[in-house]
Amino acid sequence: MPTDAGSTVPGASDFTYSGRFGPILRLALVTGLITLLTVGIYRFWATARLRRYVWGSVRVGGDALEYTGTGLEKFVGFLFAVVVLALWLGAVQIVLFLFGVVIVADPRTEEEAITQALAFSASSLAQALALAASSLAVVPFVFFAQYRARRYKLARTRLRGIRFGMEPAAWGYVWRALGHGALTVVTLGLLLPRQTFALEAYMTNRSFFGDARFAQGGRWTALYRYLRHVGIGVAILIAGGVLTGVESGFGPFLMFVGYVSAFLGIVHYNVQSFGWLSRHKTLAGGVGFDARPSTRRVIWIGFQGGVLITILFAVLAVVFIAMIAGTFGGAMQGGGPPPVGALVVSVLGYLAAFVLTGALATALISQPILRHYIETCTITGIGALDGIVQRAHDRGADAEGFADALDMGGAF
């Protein structure tokens, strides 16, 4: 009976997602609490566990994705990135200092005031300049980290036991991202589609499944149609501004409408340009993708989740404050300092709320949006996968350490 069956699995053209609300909420809560208790050190292991669940829930033509990254390598990568960034930022700070501009923290004691004053100069303009310069100094590393993070995630993803991968070319991405970013800013956003396309194509054309290369097709000008809503929103915003200028009560309302529609327009652009770019990707010449995400659905999931979390927190906050007042209210009547117990309970409550929000956002927003993206995508020509050969292990370089050090993690 056993025969080589090739890829003839039922529903072979489907992407499916089987992750559920309960398990991911539990996972996010537990890992969030351990992260809190270990002052953040566990977050690398938390990410790995969450990804193992999410990847394992994605099926391509009936086969589950597999995430093989470990918290350990992410932790080591983070340490490495911290050393590199520390060197770079230390140098930048000292150069900034030459121009007499440094960031100031609020002193708390007289001694601190003197020490800090010795260390830091004064004016708020100078502070703003220094802050901007420090942030600018980090920008190249942000792009570097973006590419490296994608490369690491691909290198740790397997399908049918075969590794994905990406060529090491992060610095080339940095120069292109800086150049396209500058062009987009100079043209007031008019060249955004060109930036979106060029950067995605740069990464896609360097991505592999086994020995097969991905390719990004299509022309960047096609993305303009998805930018239309942003244009309309901005136009309404400007009209509202003009009306406000001529003292019409209608102006501010119009500005609000313009602002909201521009924001929704940006969401639309992100969702639809992702769909379009996916539809124009090919793998190994024969495999294609058909992605049809719905902007309305994505916005609805985000809105619904946001409202639910807000309501839950309003209720919890009222209950919590009532509890504290009931327990410690007597001690606070005299107008003295609040008792230590009340402070401890408040801090614990704040931290618990912090972990709960993150977990709820994962379970109510991130996962449903991911599910929507996956379930609205199909794969064509899946039979071509059969000829694909394994690729070599990638050490993963800094294992996303730069992205972690710069705190730029996405949902998963």
Partner 1 sequence: MAGRVPSALYDGQTARRHVVGVEVGQGALVLHHADGRVEHWPFERLRRISAHADGRTFTLALHSETGDEVPRDPARLVVSDAGLAEAIRRAAPTLGRHDLPRGAIRRVMVGTVAALGAVALILFVIVPMLAATIAERMPRETEIAFGRSVVAQVEGFLAEDDAPLACEGAAGRAALDRMAARLTAGRTLDYDLRIAVFDHPMVNAFAAPGGHVILMRGLIEAAQGPDEVAGVLAHEIGHVEARDPTRLALRSAGSAGILSLLIGDMLGGAAVAVAAEYMLTAAYSREAEAAADAYALALLAEAGVGAGGLADFFARVAPKAGRMPEYLASHPGIAGRADRARAAVAAPTAPILSETEWSALRAICG
Residues 35-64 that bind partner 1 (CB under 8 A): 36, 39-40, 52, 55-57, 63-64
**DSSP states of 279-324:** HTEEETTTEEEEE---HHHHHHHHHHHHHHHHHHHHHHHHHHHHHH
Compute the Cα dihedral for 263, 47, 206, 283 and give only its sign.
Answer: negative
Binders in 78-137 for partner 1, by CB under 8 A: 79-80, 82-83, 85-87, 89-94, 96-98, 100, 102-105, 107-108, 110-123, 134
Nearer to partner 1, 118 or 188 (CB): 118
**Alpha carbon distances (Å) from 98 to 88, 92, 124:** 16, 10, 17
Would you give the binding string for partner 1 spanning residues 141-180, x where CB under 8 A is met? Answer: ---------------x-xxxxxx-----------------
Nearer to partner 1, 55 or 143 (CB): 55
Binders in 223-262 for partner 1, by CB under 8 A: none
CB of 129 to partner 1, least distance (A): 14
Nearest in space to 255 (alpha carbons), one of 238, 279, 280: 238
**In 83-200, beta strands by DSSP E:** 157-159, 162-166
- Give bridge partners of residue 165 from the DSSP assignment: 208
Nearer to partner 1, 212 or 271 (CB): 212
Nearer to partner 1, 163 or 180 (CB): 163
CB of 227 to partner 1, least distance (A): 33
Give the Cα separation of 351 and 39 in Å (integer): 12
Would you give the binding string for partner 1 spanning residues 192-211, x where CB under 8 A is met? Answer: -----------------xx-
CB of 217 to partner 1, least distance (A): 22
Would you give the binding string for partner 1 spanning residues 2-21, x where CB under 8 A is met? Answer: xxxxxx-x--------x-x-
Binders in 265-304 for partner 1, by CB under 8 A: none
Q: Which of 351, 352, 361, 397 binds partner 1 (CB under 8 A)?
A: 351
Nearer to partner 1, 108 or 219 (CB): 108
Judge contact between 14 and 289, C-beta under 8 A: no
308 binds partner 1 (CB under 8 A): no
Edge-first strand listing for the sheet containing 162-166 = 15-17, 58-60, 63-67, 157-159, 162-166, 207-209, 212-216, 281-283, 287-291, 377-380
Binders in 363-392 for partner 1, by CB under 8 A: 385-390
Nearer to partner 1, 133 or 257 (CB): 133
Nearest in space to 199 (alpha carbons), one of 105, 277, 294, 104: 277
DSSP state of 218: S
Phi first, then psi: give them for residue 163, nearest 5 degrees. -80, 145
Counting residues that bind partner 1 (by CB under 8 A) gives: 86
Nearer to partner 1, 107 or 339 (CB): 107
Judge contact between 74 and 48, C-beta under 8 A: yes
CB of 339 to partner 1, least distance (A): 21
CB of 31 to partner 1, least distance (A): 15
CB of 244 to partner 1, least distance (A): 38
Number of C-beta neighbours around residue 292 at 10 A: 11
Nearer to partner 1, 266 or 345 (CB): 345
Rounded to 5°, angle at Cα 296 from 295 and 298: 65
CB of 211 to partner 1, least distance (A): 9
CB of 2 to partner 1, least distance (A): 5
Please report which helix (H) or strand (E) contains residue 403, including its range.
helix 401-405
